[in-house]
Amino acid sequence: MRAFFLPTLTLCSALLATTPAQAQAARYEIDPDHLTVAFLVDHIGYAKVLGMFRSARGNYRFDEATATLSEVRIEVETASVFSNQRKRDDHLKGPDFLNSGEFPRMVFTASGAKRTGERTFDITGQLELLGKKQPLTLQATWNKSAESPMGGFGGKPYVMGVSARGSFKRSAYGMNYAVANGWVGDEVPLIIEFEAIRQ
């Protein structure tokens, strides 16, 4: 029995010794004043329309020592869509596209990420849109983490900056308007830029 328990206790001790790194993961709140969630959509092959959402928020956990990301959540208010043309924006908010009245939020969640380079990650999660969830992978770059030189009322916050890109097919969510005739592109590239404050 002694020969069995001693190696088992040694293994348990080794496993417990590895857990504090996960406990060091800090919570980050995305700064809404430094958050851009934008998209591009092809228009009849002539050019792409650039749009954005003017209201969004998010948070996640990140362990800087191990570059471990977890508990990612980004919420976008669909009625905040803006493409610099009022009639088009009203159409985008309607049932042909985002149906903001029935589905006021678009939500991306991910439990973790795969590190692909020194400061790059594949964040594979789910995008919930129009009541449907589909897989979505964001390619993210960790640009910088440092104490902000600008400061604020609470001193100088510790800020992390991230650039992320991805894309999805809107038809996968049942958003089929003008897909068949090619007037409005199906593939929607995403452009996400943000600064997040460590809590």
The per-residue pLDDT of the chain, averaged, comes to 90
Q: Go through 123-160 and write b for each residue having 16 or more CB atoms within 10 A of its CB, e for each that does not.
A: bebebbbbeeeeebbbebebeebeeeeeeeeeeebbbb
Residue range 75-119, pLDDT digits in tens: 999 999 999 999 999 999 999 999 999 999 999 999 999 999 999
CATH architecture assignment, domain 25-198: Beta Barrel (2.40)
What pLDDT shows up at residue 56?
Answer: 98
Q: Where are the chain's structural domains?
A: 25-198
Distance CA(173)–CA(108), nearest Å, equals 14
Contact 185, 48 (CB under 8 A): yes
What pLDDT shows up at residue 145?
Answer: 97
Confidence of residue 155 (pLDDT cuts 50, 70, 90): confident
Distance CA(133)–CA(172), nearest Å, equals 9
What pLDDT shows up at residue 23?
Answer: 55
Q: What percent of the chain has pLDDT over 90?
A: 84
Spatial neighbors of 57 by CB under 8 A, at least 6 apart, are: 30, 32, 35, 74, 75
Residue range 41-61, pLDDT digits in tens: 999 999 999 999 999 999 999
User: 141: which strand partners?
Assistant: 120, 163
Q: What is the mean pLDDT of residues 142-166?
A: 90
Question: Is residue 11 over pLDDT 90?
Answer: no
What pLDDT shows up at residue 10?
Answer: 45
Q: Which of 4-13, 77-86, 133-142, 174-183 has the lowest mean pLDDT?
A: 4-13
Confidence of residue 13 (pLDDT cuts 50, 70, 90): very low
What is the model's pTM?
A: 0.86
Question: Is residue 17 over pLDDT 50?
Answer: no
